[in-house]
């Protein structure tokens, strides 16, 4: 099962019938939104977004750098979560969201435009509070309204 389908089956259907160009545009828009909302400002993440804007995909070296960032952020938030108290919960959630935003950029760099869109949008949705806003924006991109 496609993970995004559990959250937005209509969006998945729209992505499947869209061109590769529109799928890439949707991926980039979702990544930009997630990175901006989460505050994921690691240089590899920002460089990845910029490369996606210009080239549509990422090299294996760029994806490896992003994979390292995601792994580091995952380790940090899991360590923080293990020792979390109600007053520190917000801290590890912030790092979790940054990890998911970085993962959205990693997935957007996939060679297959549809896979890139499906997985990057799913990860982006985990990086933010505004899931419906994200999905609406992606639909607008697919419809050529953004």
Give the rounded percent of residues in the chain with a pLDDT score beyond 90: 88
**How many domains does the structure of the chain reveal?**
1
Average of pLDDT values for 41-54? 97
Average pLDDT over residues 12-37: 97
Q: By C-alpha distance, which of 36, 8, 6, 17 is closest to 113?
A: 17
What average pLDDT score do residues 19-30 get?
A: 97
Least confident of 18-22, 77-81, 100-104, 125-129: 77-81
What mean pLDDT, rounded, does the chain reach? 95
Q: 87 φ, ψ to 5°?
A: -80, -15
Confidence tier at 88 by pLDDT (50, 70, 90) = confident
Confirm if 105 and 120 have CB atoms less than 8 A apart: yes
Q: 8: domain range?
A: 3-142
C-alpha distances out from residue 62 to 12, 96, 118, 130, Å: 27, 21, 20, 28
Q: How confident is the model at residue 85 (pLDDT cuts 50, 70, 90)?
A: confident
User: Tokens 């007053």 sit at which residue?
Assistant: 87
Q: What is the pLDDT of residue 142?
A: 97
């Amino acid at each position: 099962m496609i993970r995004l389908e559990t959250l937005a089956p209509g969006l998945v259907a729209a992505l499947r019938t869209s061109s590769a160009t529109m799928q890439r545009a949707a991926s980039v828009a979702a990544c930009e939104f997630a990175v901006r909302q989460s505050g994921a400002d690691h240089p590899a993440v920002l460089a990845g977004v910029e490369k996606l804007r210009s080239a549509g995909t990422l090299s294996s070296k760029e994806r490896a750098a992003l994979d390292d960032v995601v792994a580091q952020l995952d380790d940090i938030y899991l360590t923080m979560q293990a020792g979390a108290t109600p007053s520190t919960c917000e801290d590890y959630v912030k790092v979790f969201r940054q990890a998911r935003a970085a993962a959205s950029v990693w997935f957007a760099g996939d060679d297959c435009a549809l896979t890139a869109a499906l997985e990057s949008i799913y990860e982006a949705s985990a990086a933010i509070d505004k899931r419906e806003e994200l999905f609406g924006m992606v639909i607008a991109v697919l419809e050529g309204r953004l």
